[in-house]
Amino acid sequence: MTEKHTTDVPNTEGISGTADGRIILIPQPSDDPLDPLNWSWSSKHGVLMAVSFGALLTDWGIAWGTTLFETQAVYWGMSVSAVANSVSGANFLQGVGGVLVVPITQRCGRLPVLFWSQILSCATVIAAALSPGYAGFAAARTLQGLFSTAPQVIGLSIIHDMFFFHEHARKIGIWGWCFVTGPYIGPMISALLNKQISWRANFGVLAALYFLSATVVLIFGRETLYDRNSNLRITDDGSLHARIQHLTGIAGFRATGRPTLWAGLRHTFSISIRPHIFAVSAPYYMLTFMWSIGLVNTITQFETPSPYFFSSTAIALFYFSPIIGSIIGDVWGNFFNDFLSNRYIRKHDGLYEPEARLWAIWPATFFAAGSLVLIGQVLQHGLSWVGLAFGWGMFSMAVLAATVAISAYVLDCFPHHAAQAASIVNFWRTTGGFCVVYFQSDWVARSGAGITFGCQAAICVFAFLFVVMAQVCGRGWRVRFPPPTSEN
């Protein structure tokens, strides 16, 4: 299961390479101009922009309402904690929706799933904004979580469809930055708007953003699922009729030779129990990313009372801390992952193993644990808000760096099952976010911020042992538990 990836060598006759001749392209593109690997730079990045914008809006849209709970509690005559439960169902169904969307993606294509996810998300947000009562609002928000999660799952497949191996880490970094940063940008904007407009109009703005995303897909989106078997390939003559059929999913549904919905679900479950993907996604990623959601729920509760006395505007602007941290993590993750993979290939005569990606998680875990300890001590002792901002930014940086490494690793392990692998990582990530909201605030209130965040740092370090296990045993696991047969 060791792969041959040659770099820094001149082009060989009959083998395609980069323009400067330093890197042989993996995989080798076909001679067909419709092959996504052969698309122009602008076409590829137009599609990447469309799926990344959708991924940005996923958690952005779910977290959007978190700054409106107080206003809604007064409107409906409920407690703030009761209104806050409207987010729980959406968080849970994000994981479920990611698993269910995989077989549809394999059957009908990436483009229709991306397009309809934005249309349906827009519709559910409109329904939430117009709901007369809390029950209808909560139901609409729950459905929003189910429909909106698709870009966070199919993004990895789209990157694999269009880009070569040496480009994966940087493109994953762009896509990953969007869904990691979304939970911070959404509340920040909705908090600023809340001072000027009603909560219903606030959700109207979110609906407009989803409509904008659907428009971006309509303009820049292209179907990246390319059937390598020419006998089964769907023709695209560039006509309006063909465009509509690809966009709506009719063309993909009618295609022959593609897997059934049941086959897609069966393969997803089969991949989920393979130890090398389970080790990095369930114990490590879930038990690290979940504290991101815990921080959003906890830090804002400490900013209003003594000793900080933050205004609503200051609370909104404080979200720049994790946003800036995630930008740094994106830059670091992209270049460090490229450095690790290229260094491994040079030192091993062109041979490459996916476990080389996991070295990037070592410094990420160090910063994640250190930042949680810092945040806990700052909150426990009422220290300067600068330490709080620095710690939150550092944790965000660590999470994004780990996200890039884990996403690149699972793509290397399951290149022909990218959607299934991404859905599994997404499932465990959202499961952690769903669970933490039920105990984070009570834990801090009972034990204090210092002990709570110190324990969370220890949990991150413990979970990191599973990453080490994957580094040591990963090659043997990949040989013993190979991926299912690729069906498209």
DSSP 187-247: HHHHHHHHTTS-HHHHHHHHHHHHHHHHHHHHHH-------SSTTTPPP--S-HHHHHHHH
Q: Tokens standing for 469?
A: 């296990």
Question: What is the per-residue pLDDT across 147-175, written as a single tens digit (0 to 9) for each?
Answer: 999 999 999 999 999 999 889 888 998 99
Task: Return the pLDDT at 232.
Answer: 58
Task: Return the pLDDT at 7.
Answer: 44
Least confidently predicted of 77-81, 254-258, 359-363: 254-258
Cβ pair 242, 251 in contact under 8 A: yes
Please check the confidence at residue 5 and state whether its pLDDT lies above 60.
no
Task: Return the pLDDT at 252.
Answer: 82
CA distances from 408 to 86, 156, 405 (A): 33, 9, 5
Please check the confidence at residue 418 and state whether its pLDDT lies above 60.
yes
Using 50, 70 and 90 to split pLDDT, how confident is the model at 487? Answer: low
Residue with tokens 């397009």: 115
Cβ neighbors of 391 (< 8 A, separation 6 or more) are 371, 372, 374, 375, 378
Please check the confidence at residue 318 and state whether its pLDDT lies above 80.
yes
Residue 239: CB atoms within 10 A of its CB come to: 9
Mean confidence (pLDDT) of the chain: 89
Task: Return the pLDDT at 235.
Answer: 63
Using 50, 70 and 90 to split pLDDT, how confident is the model at 8? Answer: very low
Please check the confidence at residue 301 and state whether its pLDDT lies above 80.
no
Q: Which domains does the chain have, with CATH numbers?
A: 3-480 (1.20.1250.20)
Task: Return the pLDDT at 342.
Answer: 83
The span from the CA of 299 to the CA of 314, in Å, is 13
Beta bridge partner(s), residue 4: 351
Task: Return the pLDDT at 11.
Answer: 45
Task: Return the pLDDT at 124.
Answer: 97
Please check the confidence at residue 9 and state whether its pLDDT lies above 50.
no
Using 50, 70 and 90 to split pLDDT, how confident is the model at 261? Answer: confident
Beta bridge partner(s), residue 24: 17
Question: What is the per-residue pLDDT across 199-210, written as a single tens digit (0 to 9) for each?
Answer: 999 999 999 999
Cβ pair 351, 4 in contact under 8 A: yes
Question: What is the per-residue pLDDT across 346-402, written as a single tens digit (0 to 9) for each?
Answer: 888 878 899 999 999 999 999 999 999 999 999 999 999 999 999 999 999 999 999
Residue 235: CB atoms within 10 A of its CB come to: 7
Higher-pLDDT residue of 314 and 126 is 126
Distance of CA 321 to the CA centre of its chain: 19
Please check the confidence at residue 37 and state whether its pLDDT lies above 70.
yes
Residues above pLDDT 90, as percent of the chain: 57
Task: Return the pLDDT at 6.
Answer: 45
Phi, psi for 212 (deg, rounded to 5):
-60, -40
Phi, psi for 347 (deg, rounded to 5):
-75, -15
Cβ pair 155, 175 in contact under 8 A: yes
The span from the CA of 457 to the CA of 309, in Å, is 27
Measure the CA angle with vertex 265, ends 231 and 154; round to 5°: 70
Task: Return the pLDDT at 13.
Answer: 57
Task: Return the pLDDT at 14.
Answer: 65
Phi, psi for 351 (deg, rounded to 5):
-90, 145
Least confidently predicted of 24-33, 186-195, 275-284: 24-33
Dihedral over alpha carbons 279, 282, 284, 285 (to 10 degrees): 130
Phi, psi for 473 (deg, rounded to 5):
-105, -5
Least confidently predicted of 21-35, 307-321, 435-449: 21-35
Instruction: Please compute the mean of the pLDDT values over residues 215-226 and round it to a whole number.
Output: 93
Please check the confidence at residue 4 and state whether its pLDDT lies above 60.
no
Question: What is the per-residue pLDDT across 119-150, written as a single tens digit (0 to 9) for each?
Answer: 999 999 999 999 999 999 999 999 999 999 99
Task: Return the pLDDT at 231.
Answer: 58
